């Protein structure tokens, strides 16, 4: 696990966008796994800016989002489809039909959505780079604590804590879904490369669990310790509870020196 700590969230977004760009250079038709939430917005903004200057194109890419609410239509402003359109897809050249979310149409059996979504990911050749945030409770996607570390895309019931955290986006009289369809932890673990972003003090405990805690279903993100290629980008506040902070900084400096000499050997194949 590569852990990189920056003074602020803007630098986190810049480094994250740089990794997306590096992937596009090597593989212009890359398959991305995208995430919603407050954290990746700065990264999407940065990519939109880079697209405007002509530095990056998403024209040949495909994307799969981690999750989508169950029980609200895709065209609701609260859906994750709307979030992605608003924050990213509408501002870059990605083909709309190549963007996927695990959405359940009205009348469709939600239990069928997961296996069909997994089949689409497989048909696209798998995910090259998965972007993740982390919940206060250590969730990735909507894999709440106690999710199977081998789970696949399926319906999940959201915890009270997650409902409270996301409730800010819903008006008092508005329906807030308590269920979602999310990629499983097993699905996420199959991505070839993973980039997790966390910013702000509210994430510090979850980040400590992810990086330094035991691998446990009670902190779903800790499963990433078993993944070969994970980069965790943090701001100071999110890194505040890490015990091996000094080592991560040292390793980052050494890795940077190696990259300067030999090129980015972490570059995607
Ligand atoms: P946030 O959500 O970026 O809005 O904090 C992260 C998550 O719940 O995964």
pLDDT of 101 higher than 60: yes
- pLDDT, residue 266, reads 52
**Closest listed residue to residue 23, CA positions, set 235, 198, 229, 224:** 229
For the segment 233-237, the average pLDDT, to the nearest whole number, is: 98
| Ligand 1 touching residue 220 (CB < 6 A) | no
Q: From the alpha carbon of 200, which atom of ligand 1 is closest?
A: 5
- pLDDT, residue 169, reads 86
Determine which residue's CA is closest to atom 7 belonging to ligand 1.
135
For the segment 149-177, the average pLDDT, to the nearest whole number, is: 94
Q: Is 29 a catalytic residue?
A: no
Q: From the alpha carbon of 166, which atom of ligand 1 is closest?
A: 4
- pLDDT, residue 265, reads 55
For the segment 72-88, the average pLDDT, to the nearest whole number, is: 96
- φ, ψ at 122 (rounded to 5°): -60, -45
Q: Is 144 a catalytic residue?
A: yes
Q: What is the DSSP string of 171-216?
A: -TTS---SEEEE--HHHHHTSSEEEEEE-SGGGHHHHHHHHHS--B
pLDDT of 59 higher than 80: yes
Residue pair 93/72 in contact (Cβ under 8 Å)? The answer is no
Q: Is 139 a catalytic residue?
A: yes
Q: Residues 26-58: pLDDT tens digits?
A: 999 999 999 999 999 999 999 999 999 999 999
Tokens for 50?
A: 């880079």
- pLDDT, residue 268, reads 47
In this prediction the pTM is 0.96
Of 68, 118, 128, 144, the catalytic one is 144
Least confident of 1-15, 130-144, 158-172, 193-207: 158-172
118 CA → ligand 1 middle, Å? 23
- pLDDT, residue 262, reads 85
pLDDT band, very low/low/confident/very high, at 269 (cuts 50, 70, 90): very low
| Ligand 1 touching residue 36 (CB < 6 A) | no
| Ligand 1 touching residue 133 (CB < 6 A) | yes
Residue pair 240/208 in contact (Cβ under 8 Å)? The answer is no
CA R_g for the chain: 18
Q: Residues 129-159: pLDDT tens digits?
A: 999 999 999 999 999 999 999 999 999 999 9
| Ligand 1 touching residue 188 (CB < 6 A) | no
């Amino acid at each position: 696990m590569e852990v990189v700590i920056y003074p602020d969230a803007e630098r986190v977004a810049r480094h994250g966008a740089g990794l997306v760009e590096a992937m596009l250079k090597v593989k212009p038709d890359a398959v991305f796994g995208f995430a919603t939430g407050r954290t990746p917005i700065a990264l999407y903004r940065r990519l939109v800016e880079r697209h405007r200057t002509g530095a990056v194109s998403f024209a040949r890419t495909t994307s799969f989002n981690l999750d989508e609410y169950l029980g609200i239509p895709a065209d609701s402003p609260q859906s994750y489809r709307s979030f992605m359109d608003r924050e990213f897809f509408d501002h870059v050249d990605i083909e709309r039909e190549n963007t996927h979310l695990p959405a359940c149409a009205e009348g469709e059996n939600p239990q069928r959505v997961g296996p069909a979504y997994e089949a689409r990911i497989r048909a696209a050749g798998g995910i090259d780079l998965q972007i993740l945030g982390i919940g206060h409770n250590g969730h990735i996607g909507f894999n709440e604590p106690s999710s199977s570390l081998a789970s696949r895309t399926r319906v999940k019931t959201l915890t009270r804590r997650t409902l409270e955290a996301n409730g800010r986006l819903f008006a008092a009289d508005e329906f807030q879904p308590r269920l979602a369809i999310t990629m499983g932890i097993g699905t996420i673990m199959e991505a070839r490369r993973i980039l997790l972003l966390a910013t702000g003090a509210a994430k510090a405990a979850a980040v400590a669990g992810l990086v330094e805690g035991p691998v446990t279903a009670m902190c779903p993100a800790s499963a990433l310790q078993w993944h070969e290629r994970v980069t965790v980008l943090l701001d100071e506040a999110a890194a505040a509870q890490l015990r091996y902070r000094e080592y991560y900084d040292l390793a980052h400096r050494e890795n940077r020196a190696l990259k300067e000499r030999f090129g980015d050997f972490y570059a995607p194949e």
